[in-house]
C-alpha cells in the first residue's frame, strides 16, 4: 500500500529533493559547503521580503519559536501573545517558561485575530517589549493579518515576532515593508523538505532587543549565529542543506506567483470537495483562510478519529484532525508544498472510500468531481 501525506507538515517530499539529500555527505567546513551556504544565504532573504540575513538552524519550527523568546527577551519582560489556536498557545507557553509576563489577546479557534483588539491591548499594556503572532494557524486553517499587526508597532520599540512556519511562501510576506522584526519558518512546509531546518530573520530593531536581552541561551544564541554567518554556528544538518539548495531551485523555477496561485486553487478545490461530501467549512467569512490546509467539520454521525484511522489503515493516507476541543469533530486536509490537482484528487478518492466504509451517504465521485471541476475552471 502506497503511503500518502495530506497533512500541514511534514509534506510529501518530491523525489528530486530526496535524491539531493541522499548524496554523499560533505564536510561542514569544506570549500564546497561554503559555496553551498553562500548560494542558500543569497536565495533566502527575498522569500522573506527582507534585505537582512536569514539564519538557518538545525531545529524544528518550535526551536525557532523558542530561539525568538530566548534571544530577544529577558525574564520579567511584558509581551503580547496573539492566540487564536494551538500554536498561539504554544507561543504563550514558551514565553511563560522563560519568565516573561504574558498578556494574551485571545480569539476563538477558527477566527482570525482582530488587529483592533491587538492595538487596544497595546494601549492597555504600553510597557510591552514584544508582540507574538502566528501567520497561518494550522490548528484551524485561519490566517492572521500580520501586515496590519506589524503596522501597529512599526514606529515603536516593540519587537513583532511572526511564526510564519507554514504561512511563508504560500502567502505573501514582506518582512521589511510590513514592519516585522523576527520572522520564523521551517523546512517541512512550503519548502517541501523533511523536518529539521528552521529559519530566522531579524530586523535592526530585533538586534537592539538581542543586545538588551539577558536571557540565558547558547544553541539559540542569535549573537553566535551572527558571529559565524553565513556558516553554521554548530554542526549543520548537511543532508537537509543539500536538499534545501535544490528546493530553492524548484521554487525559483515555478516562481512565487505561480506557487501561491497553485495553493489558492488547491484550497478552493478542497473546500468545494468537502462541502459536496457533507462537511461544513470551519473558518467562516469574514475570517481569512489559509491556503496551507482546508479545515472542515464532519457531517453528523461521523467521528473524525475513526475516519482518519480508516484512511490510514485501509488506504495509506495520513490526514490530521482537530486538536484540543476539536478532536473527533474536525479534519484538516493539508495541501502545502508540492501538492497538485492529481494529488488532491487521489486524497479525495481515498476520503470518499473511507466515508463509504463508515456508512456515510453521498454520491460517490462527487468530492473528486469538485476537485476536477475547480482546476478545470481555474485553467490549471
CATH no. for residue 230?
A: 3.40.640.10
Query: Cα–Cα distance between 304 and 277 in angstroms, integer?
Result: 14
Q: Which of 224, 253, 282 is the last residue of a domain?
A: 253
Say if 182 falls within a structural domain.
yes
- Is 1 or 336 the better-scoring residue by pLDDT? 336
Domain co-membership, 227 together with 279: no
Same domain, residue pair 205 and 224:
yes
Closest by CA position to 370, among listed 341, 335, 350: 341
Q: Are residue 242 and residue 325 in the same domain, yes or no?
A: no
User: Which domain-ending residue is among 206, 229, 253?
Assistant: 253
At 232, the pLDDT band (50, 70, 90 cuts) reads confident
Mark whether 215 and 275 lie in a shared domain. no
The residue to which cell 531579524 is assigned: 202
The reported pLDDT for the residue numbered 171 is: 98
Set of cell numbers at residue 341 = 490537482
In a domain, 9, yes or no: no
96: domain range?
15-253
The predicted structure's pLDDT at residue 376: 95
Based on the domain organization, do 242 and 116 belong to the same domain?
Answer: yes
What are the tens digits of pLDDT across the range 56-100? 999 999 999 999 999 999 999 999 999 999 999 999 999 999 999
Output 203 or 27, whichever has higher pLDDT: 203
Residue 98 backbone phi and psi in degrees, to 5: -95, 10
Structure confidence by residue, pLDDT tens digits, 7-58: 998 999 999 999 999 999 988 888 999 999 999 999 999 999 999 999 999 9
Nearest to 143 by CA among 112, 122, 172, 118: 112
Pair 273, 154 in one domain:
no
pTM (predicted TM-score): 0.96
For residues 243 and 265, state if they share a domain. no
The torsion defined by the Cα of 249, 251, 257 and 260, in degrees rounded to 10, comes to: 180
Q: Is 380 annotated as a binding residue?
A: no
Residue 380 pLDDT level (bands cut at 50, 70, 90): low
Quick one: pLDDT at residue 230?
A: 87
Q: For 186, phi and psi rounded to 5 degrees?
A: -150, 165
Which position has the grid cell 538552524?
57
pLDDT at residue 379 greater than cutoff 90? no
| 5 domain-assigned | no
Q: Please report whether residue 4 resides in a domain.
A: no
Number of structural domains (the chain) is 2
> What is residue 266's predicted lDDT score, i.e. its pLDDT?
98
Confidence of residue 219 (pLDDT cuts 50, 70, 90): very high
- The domain boundary, picked from 228, 253, 278, lies at 253
pLDDT of residue 152: 98
Q: Which of 281, 267, 280, 269 is nearest to 371 (CA)?
A: 269
Amino acid at each position: 500500500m502506497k503511503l500518502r501525506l495530506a497533512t500541514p507538515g511534514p509534506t510529501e517530499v518530491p523525489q528530486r529533493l530526496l535524491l539531493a539529500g541522499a548524496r554523499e555527505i560533505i564536510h561542514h567546513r569544506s570549500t564546497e559547503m561554503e559555496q553551498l551556504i553562500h548560494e542558500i544565504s543569497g536565495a533566502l532573504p527575498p522569500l522573506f521580503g527582507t534585505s537582512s540575513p536569514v539564519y538557518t538552524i538545525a531545529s524544528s519550527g518550535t526551536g525557532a519559536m523558542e530561539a525568538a523568546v530566548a534571544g530577544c527577551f529577558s525574564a520579567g519582560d511584558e509581551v503580547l501573545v496573539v492566540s487564536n489556536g494551538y500554536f498561539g498557545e504554544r507561543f504563550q507557553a514558551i514565553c511563560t517558561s522563560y519568565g516573561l509576563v504574558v498578556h494574551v489577546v485571545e480569539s476563538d479557534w477558527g477566527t482570525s485575530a482582530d488587529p483592533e483588539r491587538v492595538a487596544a491591548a497595546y494601549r492597555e499594556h504600553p510597557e510591552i517589549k514584544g508582540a507574538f503572532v502566528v501567520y497561518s494557524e494550522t490548528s484551524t486553517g485561519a490566517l492572521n493579518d500580520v501586515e496590519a499587526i506589524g503596522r501597529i508597532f512599526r514606529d515603536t520599540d516593540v519587537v513583532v515576532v511572526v511564526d510564519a512556519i507554514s504561512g511563508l511562501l504560500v502567502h505573501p510576506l514582506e518582512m521589511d515593508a510590513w514592519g516585522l522584526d523576527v520572522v520564523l519558518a521551517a523546512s517541512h512546509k512550503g519548502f517541501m523538505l523533511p523536518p529539521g531546518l528552521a529559519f530566522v530573520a531579524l530586523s535592526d530593531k530585533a538586534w537592539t532587543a538581542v543586545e538588551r536581552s539577558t536571557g540565558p541561551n547558547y544553541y539559540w544564541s542569535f549573537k553566535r549565529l551572527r558571529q559565524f554567518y553565513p556558516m553554521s554556528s554548530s554542526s549543520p544538518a548537511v543532508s537537509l542543506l543539500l536538499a534545501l539548495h535544490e528546493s530553492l531551485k524548484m521554487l525559483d523555477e515555478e516562481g512565487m506567483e505561480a506557487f501561491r496561485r497553485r495553493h489558492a486553487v488547491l484550497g478552493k478545490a478542497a473546500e468545494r470537495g468537502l462541502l459536496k461530501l457533507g462537511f461544513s467549512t470551519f473558518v467562516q467569512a469574514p475570517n481569512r483562510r489559509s491556503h496551507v490546509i482546508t479545515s472542515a467539520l464532519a457531517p453528523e454521525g461521523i467521528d473524525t478519529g475513526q475516519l482518519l484511522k480508516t484512511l490510514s489503515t485501509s488506504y495509506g493516507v495520513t490526514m490530521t484532525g482537530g486538536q484540543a476541543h476539536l478532536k473527533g469533530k474536525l479534519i484538516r486536509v493539508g495541501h502545502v508544498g508540492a501538492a497538485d490537482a492529481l494529488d488532491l484528487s487521489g486524497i479525495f478518492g481515498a476520503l470518499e472510500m473511507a466515508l463509504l466504509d463508515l456508512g456515510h451517504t453521498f454520491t460517490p465521485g462527487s468530492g473528486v468531481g469538485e476537485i476536477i471541476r475547480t482546476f478545470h475552471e481555474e485553467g490549471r
